[in-house]
Amino acid sequence: MTEAAFNVHATAIVVGKTGLLFSGPSGWGKSMLAFTCMTEARRLGLFTALVADDQVLLSREAGAVIATCPPSITGLIELRGTGIVREDHIPRAAMHYAVLPGTATGEDRVPPEGEMVSLAADFSLPALRLLTGVSSPLAILMAKVPDIGR
């Protein structure tokens, strides 16, 4: 049984069979990081697809967090400063990790192991932290979680 969907400001992609939900403040670079991860995945010969950009509808189905896209923006991703482009997309996917902004300095620069992020009541995912502007974000995520892309 599927619970009613709620809308979050995020970008959802799939790499291999792994769902990645890029979540963070406006202007953080969610779309560009997701796009760069998809580009890297293609270069590695991995399946990758956009689920949704900017507005992601999340629901719970059989214990999994499922992402879908509002019909009006299906297959579209905004690359800030460049415009809106079309991407290969799929209509829905389970999300396995939330990719959140990292911190380069201070005590928070090494995030806690096993960090979870609450997306809403009873909706949480394991968190992966990532700095914006890194040249190979997918490689960094795969170093942290080797199963990404499998």
pLDDT digits (tens, 9 = 90+) for 42-55: 999 999 999 999 99
**Range among 31-40, 97-106, 130-139 rated most confident:** 31-40
Strand partners, 78: 84
Residue type (1 letter), 128: L
- Which of the four pLDDT bands, split at 50, 70 and 90, describes residue 142? very high
Structure tokens belonging to residue 97: 């990790």
In this predicted structure, what is the pLDDT of residue 122?
74
Q: Looking at residues 94-111, what average pLDDT do you find?
A: 81
Give the whole-angstrom CA distance, residue 146 versus residue 150: 8
Which of 76, 72, 26 has its CA nearest to residue 51?
Answer: 76
Asked whether the predicted pLDDT for residue 113 surpasses 70, the reply is: yes
What mean pLDDT do residues 135-150 have?
Answer: 91
Pair of tokens at residue 10: 């995020």
H/E element, 146 = none
Give the whole-angstrom CA distance, residue 120 versus residue 129: 19
